[in-house]
Amino acid sequence: MKKIAILIEDHYQVLEVWYPYLRLKEAGYNPVLTGPAGQAVYKSKEGYPAEQDVTISNISPADVDGVVIPGGYAPDRLRRHDRINSFVNQVFNSGKLVAAICHGGWVLVSAGILKGKRATCFFAIKDDIINTGAEYIDEEVVCDGNLITSRKPEDLPVFMKAILRFLA
């Protein structure tokens, strides 16, 4: 069964964590909530809890078939951890799925994987995406090899279709 890490931190966007988690589970994959060491439960912007399955220090890029990076303000916190950035970089460079939605693009920037890629994100961080050397495209989902990006919660259905198509 393919294992997909879903990165979590405090102030995550509820739909952008739970919609992919439940769709992956429904499709027969093993989604694992993965965050920095230090706490067992992370809370959404509204306080909804997500219990971490494994810390980033206890999972290897070799252990997963991909990573999903939800938005909210969590990505600004996630990108501060070298281990998170290294994990995403290694998953990407292994040709495995790297999918980010909304502000999740911030982690892609810090992981150093966007130069020369096509990507989308929440409009407020498009300058960050462009300044890292990516071509910003304002579409509900942008697929560039093993990189899949979307803009906002309303894009989740097409985001997940693209993810599931890549993993099939």
| Cα 21 to Cα 19: distance, rounded to the nearest angstrom | 5
For 152, other C-beta atoms within 10 Å of its C-beta total 19
Q: Which long-range contacts (CB under 8 A, 24 or more apart) does 80-86 make?
A: 81/36, 81/56, 83/36, 83/56, 83/57, 84/7, 84/36, 84/56, 84/110, 84/111, 85/110, 85/111, 85/112, 86/111
Quote the CA–CA distance of 3 and 12 in Å, as a whole number. 21
Catalytic residue among 11, 96, 103, 117: 103
Asked whether 123 and 154 are in contact (CB, 8 A), the reply is no
Is 103 one of the catalytic residues? yes
Q: Which residues are catalytic?
A: 103
